[in-house]
Amino acid sequence: MKKVFEYLKPYYFKMSIGLAIKILGTFMDLGLPWVLAFIIDDIIPLHNVNLILLWGLVMIALSIGARIFNIVANRMASKVARDATEALRHDLFGKILSLSGRQLNHFTIPSLEARMTTDTYNIHNMIGMMQRIGVRAPIILTGGIVITSTLEPVLTLILVGTLPFLALVVYVVSKKGIPLYTRLQETTDRMTRVVRENITGVRVIKALSKGNYEKNRFYRINQDVVDKELSAGTLMSITNPTINFLLNMGLTLVVVVGAYRVNIGASEPGKIVAFLSYFMIMLHAVMAITRIFIVFSKATASAMRIAEVLDTDEDLKEIDMGPVKSEYHIQFDNVTFSYAKEPCLSGISFGIRKGESLGIIGSTGSGKSTLVHLLLRFYDVDSGSIRIDGVDIRSMNKQELRKKFGVAFQNDVLFAESISENIKLGREIDEEQVLKAVSDAQAISFIDEYEEKLERMLTIKGSNLSGGQKQRLLIARALAGNPEILILDDSSSALDYKTDSMLRSAIRKNHKDTTSIIIAQRISSVMKLDKILVLEDGQMAGFGKHEELLKTCEVYREIYRSQFG
């Protein structure tokens, strides 16, 4: 919770004003039963109608004032909760974007989505409720005890005697409730993951008639969520009936003892009426406090999950490593990397000069995409080094490093925006650059068919485009910023041979100074490049030109024979 309170610091002054207004409104509420007792015991016996009306107006003024002050304070509390949660959500989103590949794998995408949505919503509820009810309820409880002790000290002892039991119930329930809500959120993360998988793979599920299987899988995880929610809800629901029972037993004792004291002349009816009013007000206050503890338990579990992300140390820190003189633009020097225990890349060493093109080819799972992820520093190498112009990428600022690249990944995303915005992607790219990029990417042919041209709106993930059209727009996005290094990760697999050939020709002609890395499954996509890297089981099986590899690399020859016969 400490991390959450840090986001409230900029709003302490506004919260103080809201607190003062709330306290004033609460005191007005507390004054109503006291005025009522004064009217019954001191004013009515005087038989003065004017005084009765005067004090009646005082009660009306107190009631209206209490409502106005409470509404103003509640509005201020809602604004603080909104703004603080907005700042928290913004920082959490920024932190998620800065996480390394390993850290994303550790937290998982569904869990991070839940922390961004459900957990921040729980925090929002807690901040708002603590300001609205968390201030009012304790004041009513404390102020009620103080005022009733001046009216009827004997009856106040009965009320105070119930408080330790109430505190015990709240403490025990909240202590056991927080772990239950934590486990509930973890189970909800798993349910989110199942839903994401089903939505993403809905076509495969339908094609293979696996709807019933996936329904059963969702039923099991959904039932697990229900069971855990039921456990947490059942525990928390104990508070209301238990506290109601304790308070109503106290109220019964107050009525019996109060009647006895009035009967013997030790008290007055007005004081007993006022005391009962205070008791009912305090009953509602205690019930509000139990609701606060339920919300607080949820928010505490959520805050711990959010703090876990925010407190995660940067594992891709800049390391000061001196530059070395190198003839290569990009150089891998004995690079080894593993996601888990077994290395997926080992002993990778090669270099390409500025403006050269490199093709990477190999079987599925050989480490082609991993090589690119290391170059972009999504992960750090286990050993060895990767250098650009002789500078180790670990000593570069990550943002500056990645500005050098134009990348079209294998499973990249198009957003529900115009074609132009999807290509610009928030970068300072003018219309002329966009047109040049779509022309080089061979996308201008189908864009010209649209009436809106570049302002044509795309649906989520570009679902209103064909596979080849998507890939051409993704390549246009990579080319639009005139990158120093271009990476195409199997991004032309949906293109026909003619379009693929025209694309590679346009890149060679119009981006001569750009160092290109093209990952492909087809030899025809890489055979004319300056260098070709062949990977097999995470190791270099060959490196050189097409003609050299046909003579020296058995793995390359097998791929060539399988594709060309």
**Residue 466 DSSP code:** -
pTM of the complete model: 0.70
Q: What is the mean pLDDT of each run of 10 residues along the chain (565 residues)?
A: 76 87 84 78 78 85 87 89 90 87 82 86 87 81 77 75 77 77 81 79 75 84 87 78 77 77 73 75 76 80 86 81 84 89 87 91 85 90 90 88 86 85 86 88 87 86 82 89 88 79 85 88 85 90 90 89 82
- pLDDT for 53 equals 85
The Cα–Cα gap between 498 and 486 comes to 21
- pLDDT for 531 equals 92
The Cα–Cα gap between 390 and 400 comes to 16
CA dihedral 23, 28, 34, 36 (to 10 degrees): -160
If one counts every other C-beta atom within 10 angstroms of the C-beta of residue 60, the result is 11
Integer angstrom CA distances of residue 359 from 366, 387, 485, 528, 534: 14, 18, 13, 9, 8
- Chain segment 44-54, per-residue pLDDT in tens: 777 778 888 88
- Chain segment 522-549, per-residue pLDDT in tens: 888 888 888 999 998 888 989 999 999 9
Asked if residue 535 lies in contact with residue 368, where contact means CB atoms within 8 angstroms, the answer is yes
- pLDDT for 153 equals 77
- pLDDT for 387 equals 92
